[in-house]
Amino acid sequence: MEDACDTNIPTSIQSKKNYEMTNYPSIFDNTYWGTYEFNGDNFNSEIIDNRNNFVEEFNITKYASEAPEYIYNQINPQYLFDKAFKNYIHPNTKALQVRKYFDDNNIKRKFHTDHIEYYQSNDFWIGIFSPYLMDEGDHEYALNFGYQPYNKLYSTATTTYIKKIPRCIKYKNTNKVFKNLWT
């Protein structure tokens, strides 16, 4: 009798999590993506290969469940905008500079950065995000915020974007508008 739920996934991997399918389980075990069961559909060998290649290409040393604030400011536009908005109620020069930076660079204040992840290598802090749905203009906003399209790392149904921040800048920032934002 044929099982109606058969997905043609070998029994040996049917209950494995995504992170267990990679060559780097210790890097991906605490990621949102890594905690899902490998299903062979959206989470398939293409994504697994891309994840392995990502680690090797950038010499990823670890997944960063937390990152320094200066990295959040440069990688996550929602974090940056939310912080600027809170300060905008009682505006200060830095909050106004952030809003001006977004406006001058044609960055929608809340473009969709679904499934955002932070990684460390010896050379970079790396942010990736892979949205299922993008509003009109989100691709352009991502490019304007310094992201580039990359190989699919979340699902075959998403587009992945990547941004690298050199670690050599320590607690300085790559753009003067981000330097000491809230001091």
Q: What are phi and psi of 164, to 5 degrees?
A: -115, 135
Which of 10-19, 82-91, 97-106, 169-178 is least confident? 169-178
Sequence-distant (6+) residues with CB within 8 A of 79 are 72, 73
Task: Specify if 7 maps to a domain.
Answer: no
183: in domain: no
Token pair for residue 145? 């915020």
Q: How far apart are CA 129 and CA 114, in angstroms?
A: 6
Q: Find the angle CA(34)-CA(168)-CA(106) to the nearest 5 degrees.
A: 70
Asked if pLDDT for residue 166 goes beyond 60, the answer is yes
Instruction: Flag whether 8 is in a domain.
Output: no
Looking at residue 111, its pLDDT comes to: 64
Query: Residue 57 pLDDT more than 90?
Result: yes
Task: Please check whether residue 3 lies inside any domain of the structure.
Answer: no
26 occurs within a structural domain: yes
Q: Is 1 domain-assigned?
A: no
How many domains is the chain built from?
1
Is 55 in a helix, a strand, or coil?
Answer: helix
pLDDT at 24 over 80: yes
Q: What's residue 3's pLDDT?
A: 45
Tell which wins on pLDDT, 171 or 108. 108
Mean pLDDT, residues 64-93 taken together: 67
75 domain-assigned: yes
pTM: 0.75
Percentages helix, strand, coil for the chain, rounded to the nearest 5?
A: 40, 15, 45
Which residue range forms the structural domain that includes residue 69? 15-178
